[in-house]
Structure formats: structure tokens, C-alpha cells
Structure 1
Amino acid sequence: MSQYITDTTQLKCDKGASQTSLTVTSQSFMKIEGKLEATEEDKQPNSNIKPFGVCSVLRSSCTPSPVKWDNTSDFEIEGKKELLDNSTCQCSVGGKISVVKSAQNFVEE
């Protein structure tokens, strides 16, 4: 079952050399375990998504160029679809951004 992701969730780009954490700025009131929930609008380079080190496509700094989040939730926060741990975002340079590890602590039943 897919889980919602929050501020500080670890992201990776399949063309980048390192991971980075997501910074949620698209909304300011929906939280899980005290962290803001991420939405499809959290895709601004350097603001929401920091560089991923060296890009294997550009052979230089991997500054993200996100296009659109896919595999989002059916649920919305102020008209913006919530992101899930299986959401991905295509980068216009050629890479695919995905979730490495959610910032939430999941309890298995």
C-alpha cells in the first residue's frame, strides 16, 4: 500500500550521483507526524528539490529540472494532489526522480 510522503523525504534521480531531501512549500497546514505533506506542486528546482550531485547526462552539477509528478494520490490538498512513496517526477534533462525513503515512521501491523 502506498504511503503519503512529507517534508525531508529522501529523493534520488537515476541520473544523479547523490540523494537529496524534499522541502515542502506547497501548503502549510496538512501534517503527518508533525511534517508537512508533499503535493504535486513541490517540484521547484533548488527550492523543493535540491541538486543531486553530478548529472550523468550533463556531466556537470545535477540541478533538477522537474516537469510533473506522476503516480500521485487521488486525494488533494487545496486542489493539489498529494505525493506518494511511489510517485515519480520526470526531469527535462532526462532523469527520473523518485522516493528513496519516506520521512515517516511506518508501523507494520
Structure 2
Amino acid sequence: MPQHITNTTQLTCDKGTIPTPITVTSQSFMSIEGKLQATEEDKQPNTNIKPFGLCSVLRSSCTPSPVKWDNTSDFEIEGKKELLDSSTCQCSVGGKISVIQSAQNFVKE
């Protein structure tokens, strides 16, 4: 079952060399375990998504250029769809941004 992603969830780009955490700025009241939930509007370069090291396409700094989040939740926060651990975002340079693992801690029974 897909899980919602929250502030500091690690993202990766398949054309980058290092992961980076997402920074949620699209909303300020819906949270899980004290961390804001990410939405499809959390896609601004250097604000929500930091560089991913070196880009294998550009052969230079892997500064993200996100286009649109796909595979989002059907639920919305203030009209913005929530991101899930299965959500992906195409980069206009050619890479694909995805979630490494959710920042949430789940209790296993």
C-alpha cells in the first residue's frame, strides 16, 4: 500500500549521484508524526528539491528541473494532490525523480 511522504523524505534522481531530502513548503497544517505532508506543488528547484550531485546527462551539477509529479494520491490538501512513496517526477533534463524511502516510522505487528 503506498504511503504518504513527508518533509525530509529522501529523493533520488536516476541521472544524479546522491540522494536529497524533500523540503515541504506547499502547505503548513497537514502532518504525520510532526512532519508536513508533501504535495504535488513541492517541486521547486533548490527550494523543495535540492541538487542530486553530478548529472550524468549534463556532466555537471545535477540541479533538478522538475516538470510534474505523477502517481499522486487521490486525496488533496488545499486542492493539491498528496505525494506518495510511489510518486515520480520527470526532470526536463531527462532524469526521473523518485522516493528512496518514506521518512515515516511504521509499527509492524
When normalised by structure 1's length, the TM-score is: 0.99
Residue 27 of structure 1 corresponds to which residue in structure 2? 27
Query: What CA distance in whole angstroms lies between the structure 1 residues aligned with 2:41 and 2:97?
Result: 14
The yes-or-no answer on 1:84 pairing with 2:65 is no
Aligned partner of 1:12 in structure 2 is 12
Aligned residue for 1:103? 103
**Pairwise CA distance, 1:24:** 0.1
SS at match of 2:74: coil
- For residues 107 and 88 of structure 1, what CA distance do their matches in structure 2 show? 26
Residues in 2 aligned to 1:106 and 1:90: alpha-carbon distance in whole angstroms:
28
Report what 2:71 is aligned to: 71
Deviation per CA, 1:35-94: give whole Å up to 9, x if none: 000000000000000000000000000000000000000000000000000000000000
Paired residues, number: 109
Q: Distance in 1 between matches of 2:31 and 2:60?
A: 36
Structure 2 residue ranges without an equivalent (≥5): none
Q: Aligned equivalents of 1:46 and 1:73: distance in 2?
A: 24
Taking the aligned partners of 1:51 and 1:29, their CA distance within structure 2 comes to 27
- Runs of 4+ in structure 1 displaced over 6 angstroms? none
Identity over aligned residues, as a percent?
84
Q: 1:108 deviation in Å?
A: 2.5
Deviation of 1:103 (Å): 0.7
Unaligned runs of 5+ in 1: none
SS at match of 1:72: coil
Distance 2:55 2:93 in 1: 9
For 2:51 and 2:108, locate their aligned partners in 1 and report how far apart those are by CA, in whole Å: 33
* 2:60 alignment partner in structure 1: 60
- Describe the SS at the equivalent of 1:67: strand
